[in-house]
Structure 1
Amino acid sequence: MSTETQSAGKTTVCTKNKEVDGYSKLAIGRKIDEENRIYSKNSSIYIKEHTKSNEKSKDGRVFDRAHACLFCGKLFTNIQVHLEKHTDERIKDLKEAKRKANIANYKEKPYLLREVKRLQNLLRAEGDHVHNLKVMENNSDELLVARRRKGTFDAHEYGPCPQCLEWIRLRDNYAKHRDTCSSKNGCATSVANVQQYIFEKRVSPEASIELKKEVFPSMMQDDITRIAMEDRLILEVGEYHFSSNFANKIKRKNYTSYRMRLAARLLTLLRKELNMPNASYLDLIKGEYFSAFVKCSIEACGVTDDEELKYPSTALKLGFDVSRLAGAKSCYGITNRKDELRNEADDFTKLVEKLWKVHVKKRAATLLEERQFNKKTELPLPDDVAKLAKYLVDSLKSLKLTADPAVFQRVVVLTEARLLLYNRRRPGELEAIRLSTYRKRSQGVDETDLNLRAELTKMEKTLLETQELLEIRGKCGKKVPVLLPLEVKDAMNYLADPIVRDKCGIQRDNPYIFANTRHLSVRAGNALNLVKYEIDLRRPDRILATNLRKHTATISQVMGLDDQQLKWLQRHMGHTERVHLQHYRATSGLIERIDIAKLMLLQEKNMVGRFAGLRLEDITFEVKRIPWTIEEVEEVKVYFKEYLEGTTQKKCPGMKECLHAIQNSKLKGTILQRRSWETLKKKVSHMMHAKK
C-alpha cells in the first residue's frame, strides 16, 4: 500500500508495508521479523525489539536502527550519509560546520565536532518525528524511538521532546534526556508532557493557546489533569478563571489550574457514583443527576469523624463552578443548534438556583463562620518584630554585593523580607514587582507635594530624603504604594543591574526584580519564613504576612486615627474599610479592658451625666478599695465555718450561700451586708487557701 509522508511543507510518496515472503518490507527493503516486533496495546504500531549482539557481525555489534529522512521520507540505517545527498539550506550549514571542524586547531576541534554532532542529531530527530506523526495518525507501522526496549510497549507513553523532537518516554525519561538534548533551549518536564497530550489529541481542540502554554504545564500530571484537559466544559471553566485573573500574571495559572482540577475531581466522583466511567459533563448536567451532584460535592469536601465537612470552602467554590458548567452547556447547545442540550442545562440551572443553597451552601457557610469565630488570632510579638527588623537592616548593610549567584539569591531573600516587614504588603504583590516598575519609581518630591504641608518637621524631612516610592498593582487591580527605605536602595539597584543579572544566571527575558533562575520570581512569603528562623525569636511562628497586616490594622485602634488617616492606612494596605474592619482588625484586649470597661462602669454606677461630652480616654475616676475589718472577718468565720474547717466536700461557696449570708447580715444589722456576693466568695476562698 502507498502512504504519504509530510516533511518541510512537502509530501513525499513512498511504498511501504509490501508483504514479501512473510516480511513487512519498507521503502528501502527493511525487513523486520514478526517475532522481533513489540506491538503497542490495542494497536498495529510496533517497535523493533532491542538486541545487544549480532552473531553474524565481526565485532558483535548490531546495526539495525533505521531513521527517516526529513526531506524524502525514506528509511535508512546510515541516515547521515544519505542526508548529505540533499541540497537543503540546513544541509549546507551542516557541511560548512564539518568543513570548519576539519581545518580547526586541536583546541577548537572538539567543540566544533560537538556542534556538527548536534546539527546531525536535530536533522535526524526531525525526520523521525515527521515519520512518527504519520504512524500515529495511521495507527500502524514502526515507531522510531530514541531508546528501544524489551517486553511491553505502549505507543501513547511516547512523544517528541518539545525542543529537539526526539521521541522518548516523556514521563520516565525526559528528565535524563534534558541533560543531553541536542537543542540549546530546554524546557520543564510538565511542558513536555502537555506537548505529548497535544500530539496524541488527548487535549480538547477547544483549549486556548493560553491554557496549553501556561496552565497545563503547571498542573500535576495525573488522571485528574487528563480529565480536565479532555472535557469541553471544564475547559470553559478554565477559560473563565484565566480571563478573570488575567492581570495577575504570576498567579493566574495557579488559580485556573486549581479550579479546573476541582471540577475534574467532581467529575471523577460523579462517574463513580453513577457508574458511568466515560461520561462527560455534557452527559451529566441534567436534572435527573442533580442529587448526585449534591452528594459528590459534599464528598469532595472530605468528611471528618464527626460527620463535619473537612474543607467547607470547597463546596462554596464548586457551587459557583457547577453553575458555570451548566451555563457553558447551555451556550454550547445554542451555538450548535441543539435544543435538547440547552433545555437540559437550563433545567439543571433552575435546580441549582433553588436547591443548592439549601443542600450544600448553607451547611458549608455555617461551618466556615463557626470555625472563623472559634479561631484564635495570635498577633506577632512587638519585640520579635523589632528584633527581626534590626537583623534585616544590619544584614543588608553588611552584605558585600558581588556578582555571584549565591549572593544574588541572598540579596533577594533579605530585600523581599525587609519590604514585606516594613510595608506589610501581600507577598504576591512584592513578587510581581517588575524591573520597568522599579525604574519608574518616585525618587523625589515636587513642589506641589511640598505645598501640601506648610512646614515639615525634622523627622518628616528625613523620611522624604531617605525613602523612595514605588506604585504597583495590588489586589483587584488597585494601585498600591511600596516604600523603599534607605537600607534597601543599594540592594535594589544591585538586583536591577543587567550585568549582575547576566553573571548570576538570570534569564534576560525575566521581567521581575526578585528573579529566580527560571522565568519567575522568588516567593516573598518563603523569604520571610527563611529569615525569621535565622535569629532567636520568642514566637517566630506568629510572624506571617497576614498576621503582620492584622497587627497593623489592630494597633491603628490604639493610635486613635481619625477618618482621613484611617483612609490613608487602608489605601496603603490595599483594601476597603469593610475588609479592614471585618477581616484584618482583631479586637484589642487593651481597648476592651480599659476603654470599653470604663463605659460599662459609667452605666453601672450611674455616672454618665457627670462625664458627658468627654472622650473615653479622658475619663478617669477613683476606684476606692474598702479594707476588711476584724468584725467582718469574724462574721465570715461564723457563716462559712464548714468551709473554713473543711467539713464539707465543696471547694468554695456558691452564689446562693453568699447571698444567704448577706441577707442574714441585713437582718442582724451587721457590717457584712455592704459586700457583694462576688467579693464575699473571693474572701472565703482566700481564707481557705491561707489555712492550707
Structure 2
Amino acid sequence: MRRDNISIICRNDEMILTLGQRLFAKLGTDSHNGQYVSQKMREVGRLLKNIQEVDPSLKTLAECIRPSCFDKVVEAVRKCAVYNSSTQQYQIPSLALKLGHSLKKCAAIQKVAGIKLEDGELKDYAERFEELCNLEWADSVSSHALSTLYQRKWNKPTILPLSEDVVNLHKHLNVKITESTKRLSTDPDKLAWYSLATATMAKIILFNRRRSGEVQRMPLEDYQRCNTHTNEDILEDLTEWEKKLCQQLSRVETKGKRGRKVPILLTSEMKEAADTLVETRSSVGVSSTNRYMFARPTLGSKTPLRGSDCLSKMALESGAKCPSALTSTKLRKHIATVSQLFCLKRHELDILANFLGHDIRVHREYYRLPDDTLQMTKVARLLLAMEKGNSNNFRDKKLSEIEVSLDDPCTSEEELVDEDEEDDLPDEINTGASILAKTCNESKKRSSLQARSHSNLSVRKPDHQSKEL
C-alpha cells in the first residue's frame, strides 16, 4: 500500500484491518488479489476520513456502524463520490456502489465481534445499521449512482476491432516470434527472452480471445500438463479436417475468473515458442521461485508480465489504424458479435460461451451485437415493410429474410399518377364532377329510402292479415 495519509488511517483502524484480513483470507495470496485488497482498504479509509470531516467526534469506523450515524455515513459517501445535489448525479458513481458493499461487510464484522464477545449492544448496533442499509441505502445512494452509470452509456459508440487491424497484428506477432526464437537459439539473453514472451503471450490472448489476466497468470505447471489427446470414440465421429485440427492443436486448462476452469488452445507455432521459453528460463536469469509461465526475466521477481501491456505494445508496433480497440475485452466482444452473423445453434452458442468463460446469460446481455446495430438491421426491416404496406408479402419469413427496397416510395406509381391527373384537371371540370357526384349520391339515398319503405309495408302486411284471422 502506498504510504500517505490514507494508509496511516487504514493501519490505525482495527475495523479496516479486519476487513483486509477477511478479504485476503477469502481471495488467496496471489499478487493481483493483494492489490485488490489494498484498494478496498483504501476506499474505506477515504470514507473514514470524510466521516471525520463531517463529524470530528467519530474517530474509528466501528463508531460509525450505529443507527444514529447512518445519515452522517451517507453524507460522507456522497462527498467521496462527488455527489451533485442539483442534478442528482455522481462524478464517481462506481465508488458509491462499492462503499455500500464494504459498509455491509463492516456491519457483518461488527455483528460477529458482538456475538463472540457476548456484547448484545454491539450486535444490536450492527443489526440495526444493516437493516437501515437494506431499507434506505437504495433510495439515498444506489439509485442515483446506477442512473448516472446508465446515462453515461447512452449514445456512447461501441468501438470494436477492425478485421484489418486484427490480421496485421497476427502477421506482426508471427514475425516477432520468429525473430526472437532465432535470437534465443543462437545467443540467449534477457531482451530476446522478454521479446519472445511478450509476443507469445499477446498471440495467445489474440488467438483465444482470452482475458489478459488469465493468460498472464497461467502457471508453468499448468502448461507442462497440456495435452493433445482426444477421446477415441468422439474422434471417430469427426470429419477429416477436424481430426487434423485436433492433431495440430494443444489444450491447456488454467484458472479463470471466479475460479472457473478455462481452456487455452495453442497452435503448433505457439507451442514451439512456449517450449523455447521454458527451455531458456534458467539461462536468461528467470527466478526459479517464479511459478508463472510468462515470468518477468529479472532476478528475484515472483510476478508475471502484464498481458494488457504486452497486447497494447504489440498493437502499436503493428501499425494498426485503431490500436486502442485491440484490447482483450473488445476482442472478446468482437468474437461474440461476429458469432451472431454465423447463425449458431443453441448448443454451439453454449460451447462458445463456455470456452470464453462466460455464463450464457452474461454472454447474451453484455457480449452480443450492440442494441443499436440490432435495431438498425433487424427491427428496421419489419418497420420498413409495414411502412410500405408489404407486410403480407413476408408471411412465414424470418427477419433476416425480409428485404425491402430503400429507394421505393411508400405509395405506388399508379396512385401517384392518378393523383397528378386529378390535380391537372381544370377547376370547371372538377366542380362539375363534384356536382354530378353529389346528385348521384342524393338519388341513391332516395332510392334506398323508397326500398326501405316498401320492405316495411311488405313485412307489416302479413302481420295485419294474421291479426284479422
Q: TM-score, normalised by structure 1?
A: 0.56
Distance 1:284 1:589, change over 3 A: closer
- 2:89 alignment partner, SS class: coil
- 2:271 alignment partner, SS class: helix
* Alignment root-mean-square deviation, CA: 2.8
- 1:561 alignment partner, SS class: coil
Give yes or no for contact 1:470–1:481 (8 Å, CA) kept in 2: yes
Matched with 1:644 is none
Alpha-carbon distance in 1 for matches of 2:303, 2:329: 23
Asked if residue 314 in structure 1 is aligned to residue 95 in structure 2, the reply is yes
Give yes or no for contact 1:554–1:588 (8 Å, CA) kept in 2: no
Distance 1:274 1:622, change over 3 A: closer
* Structure with larger RCO (C-alpha < 8 A, sep 6+): 2
Matched with 1:573 is 356
Amino acid at match of 2:224: R
Matched with 1:523 is 306
Stretches of structure 1 that go unaligned for 5 or more consecutive residues are 1-218, 627-634, 636-661, 671-692
Amino acid at match of 1:381: L
Amino acid at match of 1:456: E
Query: Equivalences for 1:281-360 in 2 at 5 Å?
Result: 281-303=61-83, 308-360=89-141
Matched with 1:456 is 240
- Give the drift of 1:274: 0.6
Alpha-carbon distance in 1 for matches of 2:137, 2:87: 23
Indicate which of 529, 537, 555 corresponds to 2:338: 555
Indicate which of 267, 270, 276 corresponds to 1:494: 276
The CA deviation string for residues 407-446 of structure 1, in whole angstroms up to 9 with x for no partner, is 1111111011101111110011001111110011012334
Asked if residue 408 in structure 1 is aligned to residue 189 in structure 2, the reply is no
Alpha-carbon distance in 2 for matches of 1:314, 1:622: 49
Matched with 1:508 is 288
Alpha-carbon distance in 2 for matches of 1:583, 1:334: 42
Asked if residue 668 in structure 1 is aligned to residue 423 in structure 2, the reply is yes
The CA deviation string for residues 363-418 of structure 1, in whole angstroms up to 9 with x for no partner, is 11111111123432111111111111111112212322242111111111101110
- Give the drift of 1:225: 1.8
Alpha-carbon distance in 2 for matches of 1:422, 1:501: 24
Distance 1:599 1:331, change over 3 A: same
Query: Equivalences for 1:622-633 in 2 at 5 Å?
Result: 625=408
- Give the drift of 1:474: 1.4
Asked if residue 445 in structure 1 is aligned to residue 230 in structure 2, the reply is yes
Asked if residue 395 in structure 1 is aligned to residue 180 in structure 2, the reply is no
Distance 1:244 1:666, change over 3 A: farther
Indicate which of 593, 607, 611 corresponds to 2:394: 611
Stretches of structure 2 that go unaligned for 5 or more consecutive residues are 410-416, 426-469
Distance 1:265 1:610, change over 3 A: same
Task: Give percent identity, aligned residues only.
Answer: 29
- Give the drift of 1:306: 6.4
- Give the drift of 1:227: 2.0
Alpha-carbon distance in 2 for matches of 1:300, 1:292: 12
- Give the paired residue count: 413
Alpha-carbon distance in 2 for matches of 1:624, 1:529: 44
Indicate which of 369, 372, 389 corresponds to 2:150: 369
Distance 1:447 1:299, change over 3 A: same
Give yes or no for contact 2:65–2:125 (8 Å, CA) kept in 1: yes
Give yes or no for contact 1:228–1:234 (8 Å, CA) kept in 2: yes
- Give the drift of 1:233: 1.6
Distance 1:272 1:624, change over 3 A: closer
Matched with 2:456 is none
- Give the drift of 1:590: 6.4
Matched with 1:93 is none
Give yes or no for contact 1:514–1:522 (8 Å, CA) kept in 2: yes
- Give the drift of 1:558: 1.2
Query: Equivalences for 1:228-307 in 2 at 5 Å?
Result: 228-246=10-28, 249-276=30-57, 279-303=59-83
Alpha-carbon distance in 2 for matches of 1:622, 1:281: 66
- Give the drift of 1:487: 1.9
Alpha-carbon distance in 2 for matches of 1:321, 1:423: 35
Alpha-carbon distance in 2 for matches of 1:364, 1:590: 27
- 2:154 alignment partner, SS class: helix
Alpha-carbon distance in 1 for matches of 2:46, 2:404: 64
- 2:136 alignment partner, SS class: helix
- 1:260 alignment partner, SS class: helix
Distance 1:601 1:306, change over 3 A: closer
Amino acid at match of 1:348: F
Alpha-carbon distance in 1 for matches of 2:7, 2:276: 41
Matched with 2:463 is none
Alpha-carbon distance in 2 for matches of 1:572, 1:252: 24
Indicate which of 299, 314, 325 corresponds to 1:542: 325
Give yes or no for contact 2:190–2:284 (8 Å, CA) kept in 1: yes
Give yes or no for contact 2:74–2:141 (8 Å, CA) kept in 1: yes
Give yes or no for contact 2:385–2:404 (8 Å, CA) kept in 1: no
Indicate which of 218, 222, 229 corresponds to 2:4: 222
Distance 1:357 1:621, change over 3 A: closer
Alpha-carbon distance in 2 for matches of 1:602, 1:360: 45
Alpha-carbon distance in 2 for matches of 1:360, 1:590: 33
Query: Equivalences for 1:1-20 in 2 at 5 Å?
Result: none
Distance 1:260 1:666, change over 3 A: farther
* Bigger helix fraction: 2
Distance 1:346 1:615, change over 3 A: closer
Distance 1:485 1:275, change over 3 A: same
The CA deviation string for residues 560-605 of structure 1, in whole angstroms up to 9 with x for no partner, is 1111111111011111122112212232776654443332233334
